[in-house]
């Protein structure tokens, strides 16, 4: 299967240590006392008892099969933030990766949103930066840690978590994403130490090319949702960015992806150094009998792809969902002109006409229904072979309702969703609701 990665022979793959990491911090060597003074800009260290925090304040019972953050070599300052965030035990991806990333190993991780992968890579990065403080002063705009994510929403989410995890230590988080003020981001680069930089590829490349941010001293690089970066066409930008960072032997690299198509497998190997490979299989799918796929397409490719899909489908019962009435009308007209047997089911169709249309659809007189969400909810028809999301729904819950029109009553079904530059950012939200990653099919010019 495309999205499976090989379980690495963890015991046999050893990596020569990097020069800067020959001397990892022995367990709690600087924090063996029962209390630590927590660094906090707002309240100067040692100012009051409120600054004194003890790991004893964070009691988590030992439970067989569960790894506590206490059991790992993580500075108490970070543990304190973890406690404040309400985490007690490591999630599976954290338990699988942290013991290795904390030793400086590179990681190729198969995990999707919802598994706790963000904290997994952030805790490793923050621990490393605290263990190895900068020895010499350098300009603010040299990033120590770089996290690249495909969407603005994801980058902001990661940055929020980074801010929480660094709340008890002096590490700054800077976010560079498209769609938000360039000026403000430029000022942040000039005025703060860029300890952890979270960025989307396009905006980052703008800043890096104009040397407003320097990537030549990056110690730790994270590539999140690598498959999404591929499907959104960001790989050429990501390649250019990675070329600006130190050689892979001189940085720690953690790459996460929900799926591992061949291109990502190749890039992952190319970008990492003696990586450990870890896979966390998503929990049981709620729509087990629906084969779901996302086609990433340019907006103007949608119609030809849809037409071909319907034609190849050999008269099977199909529902096409779009978000707006005018889209359904437009699609209906196009399908009709292409001699496809179809009808429209949206709020602008009179109720009695809708009932008749549904009856005809059930009886196989109509092959294709073009529907909006509101109208689509009322469709209770067995044997719908295919659901097409011509546009991704604005509410991710609607995705589940839409695809639930197929694969009913133990039958197998199929859903095809188009994601274009306008709505691909919805995919992570949808996957969260569905509880699994959705296979993406795409065409990208890898030669660039
Ligand atoms: P992520 O997969 O990184 O998007 O994380 C999903 C959610 O799980 C986020 O809201 C995290 O704050 C939360 N989370 C991460 N690690 C843990 C943990 N060890 N225990 C409880 N919640 C966690």
Domain-ending residue, one of 259, 280, 301: 280
Residue 285 forms part of a structural domain: no
Residue of 113 and 445 predicted with greater confidence: 113
Q: What is the pLDDT of residue 376?
A: 67
Examine the domain organization and report whether 43 and 188 are in the same domain. Answer: yes
Examine the domain organization and report whether 298 and 384 are in the same domain. Answer: yes
Task: Tell me which of 86, 87, 167 to substitute to probe ligand 1's pocket, judged by most ligand atoms within 8 Å of the beta carbon.
Answer: 87
The H or E element that residue 303 is part of is helix 302-312
Q: 308-320 pLDDT, tens per residue?
A: 899 888 788 999 9
Examine the domain organization and report whether 274 and 294 are in the same domain. Answer: no
Q: What is the mean pLDDT of residues 178-193?
A: 89
Q: What is the pLDDT of residue 186?
A: 94
pLDDT band with cut points at 50, 70 and 90 for residue 157 = confident
Q: What is the pLDDT of residue 19?
A: 44
CA-nearest residue, atom 6 of ligand 1:
114
Q: 226-250 pLDDT, tens per residue?
A: 988 988 889 999 999 999 999 999 9
Domain-ending residue, one of 280, 315, 348: 280
Examine the domain organization and report whether 246 and 122 are in the same domain. Answer: yes
The H or E element that residue 290 is part of is strand 290-296
Residue 1 forms part of a structural domain: no
Q: What is the mean pLDDT of residues 38-43?
A: 41
Q: Which pair of structure tokens corresponds to residue 150?
A: 């495909």
DSSP 49: G
Q: Which pair of structure tokens corresponds to residue 406?
A: 């197929």
Residue 448 forms part of a structural domain: no
Examine the domain organization and report whether 235 and 310 are in the same domain. Answer: no
Q: What is the pLDDT of residue 20?
A: 44
Examine the domain organization and report whether 172 and 314 are in the same domain. Answer: no
- Which span out of 104-118, 202-216, 269-283, 286-300 was modeled with the highest average pLDDT? 202-216
Examine the domain organization and report whether 299 and 276 are in the same domain. Answer: no
Examine the domain organization and report whether 268 and 367 are in the same domain. Answer: no
CA atoms of 130 and 81, how far apart (whole Å):
14
Residue 4 forms part of a structural domain: no
Domain-ending residue, one of 280, 310, 335: 280
| Å from CA of 102 to ligand 1 middle | 18
Q: Is the CB of 87 under 6 A from ligand 1?
A: yes
Query: Domain range for residue 42?
Result: 10-280
Question: Which ligand 1 atom minimizes the distance to the CA of 118?
Answer: 3
Examine the domain organization and report whether 46 and 75 are in the same domain. Answer: yes
Q: What is the mean pLDDT of residues 421-434?
A: 89
Q: Is the CB of 94 under 6 A from ligand 1?
A: yes
pLDDT reading at 447 higher than 80:
no
Q: Is the CB of 101 under 6 A from ligand 1?
A: no
Going 317 to 322 to 326 to 330, the CA torsion angle's sign is negative
| Å from CA of 337 to ligand 1 middle | 50
Instruction: Identify the three-state secondary structure at position 117.
Output: helix
Q: What is the pLDDT of residue 211?
A: 95
CA atoms of 368 and 386, how far apart (whole Å):
9
- Into how many domains does the chain fold? 2
Examine the domain organization and report whether 243 and 357 are in the same domain. Answer: no
Domain CATH for 14: 3.40.50.300
Q: What is the mean pLDDT of residues 166-171?
A: 94
Residue 5 forms part of a structural domain: no
Residue 217 forms part of a structural domain: yes
Q: Which pair of structure tokens corresponds to residue 410?
A: 């133990």
The neighbouring-strand residues paired with 385 are none
Residue 2 forms part of a structural domain: no
Residue 130 forms part of a structural domain: yes
Examine the domain organization and report whether 26 and 107 are in the same domain. Answer: yes
pLDDT reading at 60 higher than 80:
yes
Examine the domain organization and report whether 200 and 128 are in the same domain. Answer: yes
Nearest to 126 by CA among 39, 62, 238: 39
CA-nearest residue, atom 20 of ligand 1:
87
CB 214 within 8 Å of CB 84: no
The H or E element that residue 342 is part of is strand 342-345
CB 387 within 8 Å of CB 402: yes
Q: Is the CB of 90 under 6 A from ligand 1?
A: yes
Task: Tell me which of 79, 97, 116 to substitute to probe ligand 1's pocket, judged by most ligand atoms within 8 Å of the beta carbon.
Answer: 116
């Amino acid at each position: 299967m495309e999205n499976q990665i090989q379980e690495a022979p963890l015991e046999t793959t050893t990596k020569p240590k990097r020069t800067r990491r020959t001397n990892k911090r022995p367990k709690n060597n600087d924090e063996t006392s029962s209390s630590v003074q927590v660094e906090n800009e707002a309240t100067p260290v040692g100012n009051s008892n409120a600054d004194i925090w003890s790991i004893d304040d964070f009691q988590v019972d030992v439970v067989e099969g569960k790894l506590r953050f206490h059991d790992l070599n993580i500075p108490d300052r970070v543990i304190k933030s973890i406690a404040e965030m309400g985490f007690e035990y490591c999630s599976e991806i954290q338990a699988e990766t942290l013991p290795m990333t904390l030793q400086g190993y590179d990681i190729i991780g198969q995990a999707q949103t919802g598994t706790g992968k963000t904290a997994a890579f952030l805790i490793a990065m923050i621990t490393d930066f605290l263990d190895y403080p900068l020895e010499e002063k350098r300009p603010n705009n040299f990033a120590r840690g770089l996290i690249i994510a495909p969407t603005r929403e994801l980058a902001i989410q990661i940055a929020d978590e980074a801010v929480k995890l660094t709340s008890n230590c002096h590490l700054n988080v800077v976010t560079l994403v498209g769609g938000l003020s360039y000026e403000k981001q430029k000022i942040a680069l000039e005025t703060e130490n860029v300890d952890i930089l979270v960025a989307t590829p396009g905006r980052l490349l703008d800043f890096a090319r104009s040397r407003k941010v320097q990537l030549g001293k990056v110690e730790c690089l994270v590539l999140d949702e690598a498959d999404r970066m591929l499907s959104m066409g960001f790989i050429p930008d990501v390649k250019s960015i990675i070329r600006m960072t130190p050689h892979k032997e001189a940085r720690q690299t953690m790459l996460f992806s929900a799926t591992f198509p061949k291109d990502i497998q190749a890039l992952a190997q190319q970008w990492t150094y003696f990586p450990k490979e870890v896979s966390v299989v998503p929990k049981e799918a709620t729509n087990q009998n629906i084969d779901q796929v996302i086609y990433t397409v340019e907006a103007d490719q949608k119609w030809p792809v849809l037409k071909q899909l319907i034609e190849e489908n050999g008269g099977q019962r199909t529902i096409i969902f779009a978000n707006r009435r005018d889209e359904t009308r437009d699609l209906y007209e196009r399908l009709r002109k292409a001699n496809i047997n179809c009808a429209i089911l949206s709020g602008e169709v009179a109720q009695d006409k809708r009932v008749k249309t549904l009856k005809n659809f059930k009886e196989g007189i109509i092959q294709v229904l073009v529907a909006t969400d509101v109208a689509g909810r009322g469709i209770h028809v067995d044997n719908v072979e295919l659901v097409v999301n011509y546009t991704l729904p604005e509410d991710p819950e609607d995705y589940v309702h839409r695809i639930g029109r197929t694969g009913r009553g133990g039958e197998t079904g199929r859903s095809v969703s188009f994601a274009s530059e306008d709505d691909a950012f919805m995919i992570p939200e949808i996957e969260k609701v569905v509880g699994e990653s959705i296979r993406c099919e795409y065409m990208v010019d890898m030669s660039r």
